[in-house]
Every structure is written in structure tokens, then in C-alpha cells.
Amino acid sequence: MDLIDSFKQKYSDQPTVLARAPGRVNLLGEHVDYNQGPVLPVAIDRAVHLAAGPSLGGERIVTLHALDLDEQVSFSLDNLAAKICTDGRPLPNWAHYPAGVAWALQDAGYSLAGMRAVYASKVPIGAGLSSSAAVEIGFCVLWQALSGWKVEPLTLAQISQKAENLYVGVSCGLMDQFSSACGIEGHALYFDTRSLEWQPAPLPNETSIIIADSGVRRSLATSAYNERRGACEQAVDILRRYLPAIRSLRDVSPTEFMAYSTALPETIRRRAEHVIKEIARVDSALSALHRQDRRAFGALMYAGHASLRDLYEVSTPELDALVEIARGLPGSIGARLTGAGFGGCTVNIVDTTQAEAFILGLQGGYLERTGREAQVYLCRASQGASAQIYVSSG
């Protein structure tokens, strides 16, 4: 059953707006966002799809049906801070994302209309492909279309980030929402997380993006994440004795790091080295993409994985196996873990002519080496989120 039929079945009515918002994969620039560095994500053609119409009688009530969960909730736009349904029950966790978007939009001064909606996602949950950001951006563009105002995509991303930080309670950066809102077909996005300036970078010709899910769900131990973030902050505090102008590791060049890294305790030194060199890799990758240098770009991906494995220590044996197997397959250009690590996915850039054989080789090799089955997704770089008015043909 497609989305429109689902809307008709749930609400005995036609939707008036259809929307989609893509997930994302990060090609380079891992664990640098909280160090104010640049990142290189891609919006992918696995997306959240939504169908919506105004609430009955103009009520300021939102009724949502999550098709993947087969669950429905209703909540009031006038009582969002309470995080309760119209029947007084607590809002389920999955509904915090759309409700949070409504809360953040209204807090920013935008008027919202009540709606009835159904939605479904083709972005795997928990794999590090930003399924939650896709939901948030999807509801942003839905409300924009239903309520009649127009906002720049980057602003929608910032509003969605605020929803996730302050309403949902997840301390994420801006990259995920930015990628979903601002994606450009066929391009990676070079995004400066400090200045918020960005530019598209053309992906190498005749290449495909292949994402491999290790099947290990990220036990992104909050303590492990916080330890690494804290180590970066400690590194800045120590290096500031020698480089008083720095605000974050973003401000430390590789040469300056070589000069002063001996002042850092061993673990802190390794964490900082990853961040500083990863930022340099992103800048080198941008140059490689603009000159269509596939080999240089792939080498930077492999180097990024080695750094995440050895210096930042966020890889797993399964992720390492996926990268090692990929490196030996025909058509492989580059591979690395993507996302925070501790499980989740790898991302591969592969010659399009070899993509199908690559997928089979990766799945077979991974099963043989680990006894696990990997879900593998052939993707392309897609356009960012959009909404359109739906006109029934019948």
C-alpha cells in the first residue's frame, strides 16, 4: 500500500501535501563537528516519505500515524511543552521528533496549522544514517507547505537541531539536519560547522555510494562519547598555553600540533591528533573532488578509518572487517566507518561498473569472516527535502 492509499484508509480523505526528506551518510570529517571543523556529508536516496492534510475543522490538533510502527498519536499545538497526547497519556518517544519540530517552529515565531499525517521511512533506524534528522526535516517542510510561510533550508536545519537538542534531549550537531535539508543531487556537501558556510562538491564520475550495515547496533556508550569530547576540550586547554589564540582544535594546524603535542598526556594526544588530521583530510578531500581525483579521495577515506580505529578508538572488529574486505574487492575506491562508531555502518565509494559484484563480494566476505549478515545499500547522492501540493487524479 502506498502512502496516499494509507492516508485515505486512515483518515477517509485525500492528502493535500506530500513530502520527502533524505537520510545522510558522512564521507569524511568524523568527530570534528564538536571541534568546529568541516564535514563532508551526502544526502542519500533513502528517505522519510510523508503525506498530510489539514486537521478537521481547523483544529490545532496534530494526528500522526507512523506506518513502520503501526502506531498513532494526537497532540495539541497549544500544549507541546507538556509532551502529552490529547488523551493525557505521555507522548511516545517516536512522536517527540515531530512534536519537537512543532515546538521549535512555534518558539521561533512561525504559525502552524493542525494536521493529519502518515509517514514511513526507508532510512534504517540505528545505523547512523540520520533517520531522526530526516523525520525532523520532513515535518519542517510539511508544516512550511501547510502553513504558507517560506524559510531557508539551513534555517529549517537549525530549528530541527534545536528540537532534537532541547525537546528530544539528544545533544547532536547540525550536520545531520543540514544534510537532509540542503542535499544536492550528485554532490557531497562541504559544511563548515563553525561559520555555517557550505558548498557542493561533485562526487567522482561513474562512482556509486555503497553503505554496509555491520549489524552491530551502536552501544554508543554515552560515557565513551563524553570521554572523547572531554579529551578534546582538555587538549585545547593544554595547547592554549603555547597557542593562546585557539578556541578549539579547529584552530591548531598539523604543524603546530607536531610542535606541541609532547605536552599532552598520551590518550589526549591521540584523540587530538585524529581531530586535527581529520580536519586536514576534509580540506584535502574537497580539493580532490573538485579535480575529480578518485584515487586521492579514496586514500583519504582509508586514512580516516585507520585514524578512527587507532587514534580515536571508536571502531569495532566488524567495521574493521568490512573496510578490509572492501579494500580487496575490484572497483573499491575508498571505505571507512561512518557516523559515531561503536557499531553501525561503513561507507564505500565504488566504481559503478563494479557495484553489483562489489556488494556480493562484501556480503559474502563479511559472512565468512564474522558469521554475520550485512545489509548493504546501493545509494546515490540525492536532493534535499521537499514538499509538493498533491492533486488527486480521481
The C-alpha atoms of residue 16 and residue 19 are separated, in whole angstroms, by 10
Asked if 194 and 250 touch (Cβ cutoff 8 Å), the reply is yes
The C-alpha atoms of residue 58 and residue 348 are separated, in whole angstroms, by 48
Could you count the other beta carbons within 10 Å of the beta carbon of residue 109?
Answer: 7
Q: What is the pLDDT of residue 283?
A: 97
Phi, psi of 212 (to 5 degrees): -115, 120
Q: Is 191 left (phi over 0), alpha (psi -120 to 50) or beta?
A: beta
The C-alpha atoms of residue 190 and residue 310 are separated, in whole angstroms, by 25
Residue with cell 517542510: 141
Instruction: Using alpha carbons, select from 326, 318, 304 the residue that is nearest to residue 370.
Output: 318
Per-block mean pLDDT, blocks of 10 residues, the chain (394 long):
91 96 96 95 95 92 96 96 96 96 98 96 76 94 94 96 92 90 98 97 96 81 80 98 98 98 98 98 98 97 98 96 98 95 93 98 98 94 95 70
Distances (CA, A) of 26 to 32, 44, 242, 324, 345: 12, 10, 33, 19, 10
Instruction: Using alpha carbons, select from 377, 29, 325, 384 the residue that is nearest to residue 181.
Output: 384
Q: What residues contact residue 278 under an 8 Å CB cut-off, 6+ apart? A: 28, 29, 30, 31, 32, 37, 304, 307
CATH class, domain 3-202+382-389, is alpha beta
Q: What is the pLDDT of residue 173?
A: 83
The C-alpha atoms of residue 100 and residue 164 are separated, in whole angstroms, by 7
Three-state DSSP at 104 gives helix
Is 320 annotated as catalytic? no
Distances (CA, A) of 305 to 34, 46, 125, 180, 235: 19, 24, 23, 24, 22
Helix (H) or strand (E) holding 347: strand 345-351
375 CA to centre of own chain: 18
The C-alpha atoms of residue 4 and residue 13 are separated, in whole angstroms, by 10
Q: Where are the domains of the chain?
A: 3-202+382-389
236 CA to centre of own chain: 27
CA dihedral of residues 310, 316, 319, 324 (deg, nearest 10): 50
Given 176, 192, 237, 320, the catalytic residue: 176
Q: What is the pLDDT of residue 238?
A: 98
Q: What residues contact residue 291 under an 8 Å CB cut-off, 6+ apart? A: none
Helix (H) or strand (E) holding 202: strand 198-202
Asked if 99 and 75 touch (Cβ cutoff 8 Å), the reply is yes
